Chain A
Amino acid sequence: MKQIDILIIDDEKKFAVMLAKRIELRGCTSRVCYDGRSALQWIKENRDPLDLILLDLQLPDLYGTKVLTEIKKIDPSIPVVILTGHGTEQDRKECEKLGAYMFMHKPPQIDEIITIIKQIKEQGAN
Chain B
Amino acid sequence: MLKRIQGFMKSIWPEFHNHKQNVHLDSFYTFTDYWYLWTMSIFILAVTALSPLCIQTFIHHQLIQKSANTEAILSAERLTSNAKRSIAFFMKERMDALIFTVNEMGYTKLTDNDKLAEILKNLKLGFGGLSDLSVIDEDGSMVSYAGQFKLEGKNYKCQPWFLHSLKKKYFISEVFTGYRDVPHIIIAVKSIKPDKSIFILRATLDTERLMKTLNSYKTNDYTDIFLINHNGALQTPSTNYGDVFKQTNLEISTYPTNTKVNMKSFQGIPVILGHSFISTDMVETPFILMVQKKKSGRMKTWVELYRKINWAMGISIVLIIIVISFASTFMINKLYHLEMAKAETMMQMEQSQQLASIGQLAAGVAHEINNPLAVINQTAGYLKDLYSFKDEPRNDVEIVDNIDSILDAVDRCGTITQQLLGFVRQFDIKIKKIRLQKIVSDVLSFHKKEAEYRGINVTVSIPDTIPDMETDSGKLQQILVNLINNAFQAVDEGCCLDIIGSQIDTKTIQLVIEDTGCGIPEENLKKIHEPFFSTKHDRMGTGLGLSITYGLVKKLGGNISVQSTEGVGTCFTITLPIKIQEGKLA
List residues of chain A with CB under 8 Å of any chain B CB.
12, 14-15, 18-19, 21-22, 25-26, 85-86, 88-89, 105-110
B248 located at the interface, meaning its Cβ lies under 8 Å from any Cβ of chain A in the complex: no
Instruction: Evaluate contact between B424 and A106: CB separation under 8 angstroms.
Output: no
Given A15-B371, A86-B367, are A107 and B389 neighbors across the interface (CB < 8 Å)?
Answer: no
Q: When chains A and B are docked, how far (Å) is the Cα of A70 from the Cα of B486?
A: 46
Instruction: Evaluate contact between A86 and B378: CB separation under 8 angstroms.
Output: no
A12 contact set on B, CB distance < 8 A? 371, 374-375
Instruction: Evaluate contact between A22 and B418: CB separation under 8 angstroms.
Output: no
Given A12-B374, A18-B381, are A107 and B414 neighbors across the interface (CB < 8 Å)?
Answer: yes
17 A-B pairs besides A107-B370, A107-B414 with CB distance below 8 A are: A12-B374, A14-B378, A15-B374, A15-B375, A18-B375, A18-B379, A18-B382, A19-B378, A22-B378, A25-B389, A86-B370, A89-B424, A89-B427, A105-B421, A107-B410, A108-B377, A109-B411
Q: Closest 3 A-B residue pairs measured CB to CB? A: A85-B370, A18-B378, A107-B377
Chain B: residues with Cβ within 8 Å of the partner, total of 25
Q: Whose C-beta in chain B lies nearest to the C-beta of A18?
A: B378
Tell me which of A12, A14, A85 has the highest count of chain B C-beta atoms within 10 A of its own C-beta.
A85
Q: When chains A and B are docked, how far (Å) is the Cα of A25 from the Cα of B378?
A: 13
B410 contact set on A, CB distance < 8 A? 107
B164 located at the interface, meaning its Cβ lies under 8 Å from any Cβ of chain A in the complex: no
Instruction: Evaluate contact between B381 and A22: CB separation under 8 angstroms.
Output: yes
B424 contact set on A, CB distance < 8 A? 88-89
Q: Mark B371-387, 1 if CB is under 8 A from A, else 0.
A: 10111111101100100
B281 located at the interface, meaning its Cβ lies under 8 Å from any Cβ of chain A in the complex: no
B425 contact set on A, CB distance < 8 A? 88-89
Q: Whose C-beta in chain A lies nearest to the C-beta of B389?
A: A25
Given A15-B378, A22-B378, A107-B378, are A85 and B385 neighbors across the interface (CB < 8 Å)?
Answer: no
Q: Whose C-beta in chain A lies nearest to the C-beta of B424?
A: A88
- For the complex, would chain B's binding face be called helix, strand, loop or mixed by DSSP majority? helix
A25 contact set on B, CB distance < 8 A? 385, 389
List residues of chain B with CB under 8 Å of any chain A CB.
367-368, 370-371, 373-379, 381-382, 385, 389, 410-411, 414, 417-418, 421, 424-425, 427-428
Instruction: Evaluate contact between B371 and A21: CB separation under 8 angstroms.
Output: no
Q: Whose C-beta in chain A lies nearest to the C-beta of B366?
A: A85
Tell me which of B374, B376, B428 has the highest count of chain A C-beta atoms within 10 A of its own C-beta.
B374
A21 CB, nearest partner CB in chain B, Å: 6
Tell me which of A25, A86, A106 has the highest count of chain B C-beta atoms within 10 A of its own C-beta.
A106
B385 contact set on A, CB distance < 8 A? 21-22, 25
A105 contact set on B, CB distance < 8 A? 370, 414, 417-418, 421
Given A88-B424, A107-B414, are A21 and B382 neighbors across the interface (CB < 8 Å)?
Answer: yes
B374 contact set on A, CB distance < 8 A? 12, 15, 85, 106-108
Q: When chains A and B are docked, how far (Å) is the Cα of A26 from the Cα of B418?
A: 27
Q: Whose C-beta in chain B lies nearest to the C-beta of A110?
A: B381
Q: Whose C-beta in chain A lies nearest to the C-beta of B410?
A: A107
Given A22-B378, A22-B385, are A106 and B428 neighbors across the interface (CB < 8 Å)?
Answer: no
Q: Whose C-beta in chain A lies nearest to the C-beta of B377?
A: A107
Q: When chains A and B are docked, how far (Å) is the Cα of A22 from the Cα of B382?
A: 6
A106 contact from B370, B379, B411, Cβ within 8 A: B370
B376 contact set on A, CB distance < 8 A? 107
Tell me which of A22, A107, A110 has the highest count of chain B C-beta atoms within 10 A of its own C-beta.
A107
Subset of 26 A-B contacts with CB under 8 Å: A12-B374, A14-B375, A15-B371, A15-B375, A18-B375, A18-B381, A21-B385, A22-B378, A22-B382, A22-B385, A25-B385, A26-B389, A85-B368, A85-B371, A86-B370, A88-B424, A88-B425, A89-B428, A105-B370, A105-B417, A106-B370, A107-B377, A107-B410, A108-B377, A110-B378, A110-B381
A6 CB, nearest partner CB in chain B, Å: 14
Q: Whose C-beta in chain B lies nearest to the C-beta of A11?
A: B371
A77 CB, nearest partner CB in chain B, Å: 28
A107 contact set on B, CB distance < 8 A? 370, 373-374, 376-378, 410, 414
